[in-house]
Amino acid sequence: MSDIIQLLPDHVANQIAAGEVVQRPASVVKELLENAIDAEATSIKLILKDSGKTLVQVIDNGKGMSATDARLSFERHATSKIRSADDLFSLHTKGFRGEALASIAAIAHVELKSKQDADELGTLIAIEGSEIKTQEVTVTPTGTSIAVKHLFFNIPARRNFLKSNTVELRHIIDEFHRVALAHPNIAFAMYHNGSELFNLHDSNYRQRVVHIFGTKTNEKLVPVEETTEVLKISGFVGKPQFAKKTKSEQFFFVNNRFIKSPYLNHAINAAFDGLIKDGHHPIYFLNLTVDPKSIDINIHPTKTEIKFDDEHTLYAILRSSVKHSLGQFNIAPVLDFEYDTNLDTPYNYKDKGAQTPTVEVDRDYNPFREERSFGKQTTAFKKQTPNNWDSLYVGLESKGTRDAQDFSQVEFESEPENVSLFGDQSSHDTAQSTYQFQNKYIISTIKSGMLMIDQHRAHQRILYEGLLKSMTVKEAVSQQLLFPLQLHFTRAELTILKQLQSDLEATGFVFSSIDEKQVEITGLPINVPDSEVSIILEQLIGDVEQEVPDSHFSATDLLAKSMAKSLAIKTGQSLSNLEQEHLVNSLFACKEPSVSPTNRATFITLTIDEVDRKFM
């Protein structure tokens, strides 16, 4: 029999390795930034085009490479960072596998320029899919520049697998945050499609956190410092009242390397136990320094997991030092001598001139016309003839919640004259057809029994469909604000807002400016009270952040869902009879009345048979 086993050619082996190392543009960003840090750079620039799909370039002022090293750096298992397996136990660098550049060069067009300080001239190497295209001498500053173009050009399946630009950029920003937070003494800048997203000078840790997450963050931070024999902890936790609905501001670094550790995260949660509301997550930025011998980071190629020798001790120390800091902060404000007082003035109004208020008068307003609205959340419902909407329900009898989904098949649109949202103004019949139960459910009788409607979910459905419609036809009405609203956000949040801007405008938002620190809003959708704007936008940003891993990301849909959730009347709000009826009418005028935008049942039914049976 003939032999059938062969060694894989290098470029194939590299492509396979790339599958592990490079999942998306953000992975390239991480590897290149880490190489620049390992090369002892003090200033690092990241340049991106199309969320890294077209270009990821990292330019550093580190120690550079000789011509031979530059060529070797693209070989697999070529590294200057370890020489023997023993070195693995005393790692002081980010990289050690010697895999990243070889993998990246296998699946992209790479151009490297590098020069060492002692040399007059540097080296230029161009590689496409592991194939060297050029190697020549070039004029270039000391340090290294690596440009990675057309990622996955030779693996269309991987390329198609990439998410939208918003999502990919979000992943890149996350990596950038992690690296920049771990190295406050290095200056970082990030540019995307020609505009600057971050420009971080070298600073202390607190300033770095604040520069990334916004001036408002400063007042939220409580320092944590602890030195024991096995572990040194330094950094900050957020005051309990600033806990967030997302985990987006939770960072652990071990020996300057970002790590994820559910176990240590649990220790922090334990320290915050009883101090924060359910469903909220503490903010933390914590650096742990341990003996490199006591950890094993070699267990995962992307290296965010880590194994500690003595996890239990770390857990206990971490929990008690966070608790201690929180306690201290409750008793007396903590003095921080490194504190940068410039960060103290969060808002800068002094350069702003006075604005002439504009007044808008509704000339059609008639104070004697009877009109009601839902408490403080004015909604677009108008009075409507109490057409017996239960007729709409005929044919929809279901046995209970489980079947609720099926109702979506039924055409409600076919009876427009009965269900118009903006009914005529004829007088109202006072006979009561609905009843509010526990300020939470609306009960109504129908021919075959009764309906119990969840007021919050029902209103979400109504608002959701309305918002989707105004976003697609772009005919939303907005109310002009007397005084423009100025809201502050972090850069990352502003990036998300900018991407949603046109959709938000389609719902009636009017932005007069969005710059790198704040947004100014001069108009709002008619059903959005200005007191709620910041809550709505924060919720929206949180939702987008959480949605990131989801492949079915649609900005419009997400925006409509998020706004509907924020604006819908809440459980616990008492509704007048008229309001209850409007709600029910509008619900059944929806295309999919039976489920909320997040696919939960909006109502359940109880047929007369079911009631009868209970009495048997």
What residues make contact with ligand ADP under the rule CB under 6 A?
Answer: 31, 35-36, 38-39, 60, 62-65, 73, 78-81, 95-102, 144
Q: Least separation, in Å, of the C-beta of 78 and ligand ADP? A: 6
Residues linked to residue 136 through DSSP beta bridges, in sequence order: 124
Q: Least separation, in Å, of the C-beta of 38 and ligand ADP? A: 6
Whole-angstrom Cα distance, residue 345 to residue 490? 16
∠ Cα 137 45 494 (to 5°): 150
Mark the segment that binds Mg ion (CB under 5 A) among 29-37, 171-179, 371-379, 504-512. 29-37
- The Cβ of residue 482 has, within 10 Å, a number of other Cβ atoms equal to 12
Which does residue 298 touch among Mg ion, ligand ADP, none (CB within 5 to 8 A, set by kind)? none
Beta strands in 355-491 (DSSP E): 434-437, 441-446, 449-454, 478-488
Whole-angstrom Cα distance, residue 41 to residue 22? 23
Candidates 70, 91, 100, 179: give the one binding Mg ion (CB under 5 A). Answer: 100
- The Cβ of residue 98 has, within 10 Å, a number of other Cβ atoms equal to 17
Q: Which residues contact 578 (CB under 8 A, 6 or more apart)?
A: 372, 383, 428
Which does residue 73 touch among Mg ion, ligand ADP, none (CB within 5 to 8 A, set by kind)? ligand ADP
Cβ-based nearer residue to Mg ion, 186 or 212 = 186
Tokens of 597: 């935008």
Cβ-based nearer residue to ligand ADP, 106 or 221 = 106
Cβ-based nearer residue to ligand ADP, 87 or 397 = 87
Cβ-based nearer residue to Mg ion, 96 or 509 = 96
Q: Least separation, in Å, of the C-beta of 100 and Mg ion? A: 4
Which does residue 60 touch among ligand ADP, Mg ion, none (CB within 5 to 8 A, set by kind)? ligand ADP
Mark the segment that binds Mg ion (CB under 5 A) among 9-17, 30-38, 221-229, 395-403. 30-38
Q: What is the 3-state secondary structure (H, E, C) of 295-332?
A: EECCCCCCCCCCEECCHHHHHHHHHHHHHHHHHHHHHC
Interior/surface letters 258-268, b for 16+ CB within 10 angstroms, e for the rest: bbebeebbebb
Cβ-based nearer residue to ligand ADP, 39 or 209 = 39
Q: Least separation, in Å, of the C-beta of 60 and ligand ADP? A: 5
Mark the segment that binds Mg ion (CB under 5 A) among 15-23, 98-106, 237-245, 335-343. 98-106
Cβ-based nearer residue to ligand ADP, 78 or 450 = 78
Q: Least separation, in Å, of the C-beta of 34 and Mg ion? A: 5
Cβ-based nearer residue to ligand ADP, 64 or 386 = 64
Quote the radius of gyration of the chain (alpha carbons, Å): 30
Whole-angstrom Cα distance, residue 450 to residue 69? 78
Using rule CB under 5 A, residue 95 touches Mg ion? yes
Q: Least separation, in Å, of the C-beta of 40 and ligand ADP? A: 9
Q: Least separation, in Å, of the C-beta of 155 and ligand ADP? A: 19
CA distances from 455 to 308, 376, 439 (A): 50, 16, 8
Which does residue 79 touch among Mg ion, ligand ADP, none (CB within 5 to 8 A, set by kind)? ligand ADP
Whole-angstrom Cα distance, residue 113 to residue 142? 10
Mark the segment that binds Mg ion (CB under 5 A) among 92-100, 328-336, 477-485, 493-501. 92-100
**Residue facing ligand ADP at closest CB distance:** 95
**How many chain residues bind Mg ion (CB under 5 A)?**
3
Site string for Mg ion, 266-305 (x = CB under 5 A): ----------------------------------------
Q: Least separation, in Å, of the C-beta of 205 and Mg ion? A: 24
Residues linked to residue 386 through DSSP beta bridges, in sequence order: none
Tokens of 246: 């997302």
Mark the segment that binds Mg ion (CB under 5 A) among 99-107, 287-295, 405-413, 425-433. 99-107
Give residues 31-90 in contact with Mg ion (rule: CB under 5 A): 35
Cβ-based nearer residue to Mg ion, 35 or 248 = 35
Q: Least separation, in Å, of the C-beta of 190 and ligand ADP? A: 17
Q: Least separation, in Å, of the C-beta of 186 and ligand ADP? A: 13
The answer to whether 555 touches 499, Cβ cutoff 8 Å, is yes
Question: Which has the closest alpha carbon to 101: 116, 80, 122, 123?
Answer: 80
Residues linked to residue 235 through DSSP beta bridges, in sequence order: 224, 286
Q: Least separation, in Å, of the C-beta of 96 and ligand ADP? A: 5
Which does residue 98 touch among ligand ADP, Mg ion, none (CB within 5 to 8 A, set by kind)? ligand ADP
Which does residue 96 touch among ligand ADP, Mg ion, none (CB within 5 to 8 A, set by kind)? ligand ADP
Whole-angstrom Cα distance, residue 43 to residue 28? 18
Which does residue 128 touch among ligand ADP, Mg ion, none (CB within 5 to 8 A, set by kind)? none
Cβ-based nearer residue to ligand ADP, 103 or 585 = 103
Single-letter amino acid code for the residue at 237: V
Residues linked to residue 135 through DSSP beta bridges, in sequence order: 125
Beta strands in 418-477 (DSSP E): 434-437, 441-446, 449-454
The H-or-E segment that residue 522 falls in is strand 518-525
Per 3-state DSSP, the chain is made up of helix, strand and coil in percentages (nearest 5) of 40, 20, 40
Cβ-based nearer residue to ligand ADP, 64 or 593 = 64
Whole-angstrom Cα distance, residue 277 to residue 323? 17
458: which DSSP letter? Answer: H
Q: Least separation, in Å, of the C-beta of 45 and Mg ion? A: 18
Which does residue 573 touch among Mg ion, ligand ADP, none (CB within 5 to 8 A, set by kind)? none
CA of residue 134 relative to chain centroid, distance: 41
Cβ-based nearer residue to Mg ion, 95 or 593 = 95
Using rule CB under 5 A, residue 594 touches Mg ion? no
Interior/surface letters 99-123, b for 16+ CB within 10 angstroms, e for the rest: bbbbbbbbbbbbbbbbbbeebeebb
Whole-angstrom Cα distance, residue 544 to residue 130? 37
Mark the segment that binds Mg ion (CB under 5 A) among 97-105, 475-483, 535-543, 594-602. 97-105
Cβ-based nearer residue to Mg ion, 35 or 321 = 35
Which does residue 36 touch among Mg ion, ligand ADP, none (CB within 5 to 8 A, set by kind)? ligand ADP
Q: Least separation, in Å, of the C-beta of 303 and ligand ADP? A: 10
Q: Least separation, in Å, of the C-beta of 259 and ligand ADP? A: 17
> Under the rule (CB under 5 A), what is the footprint of Mg ion?
35, 95, 100
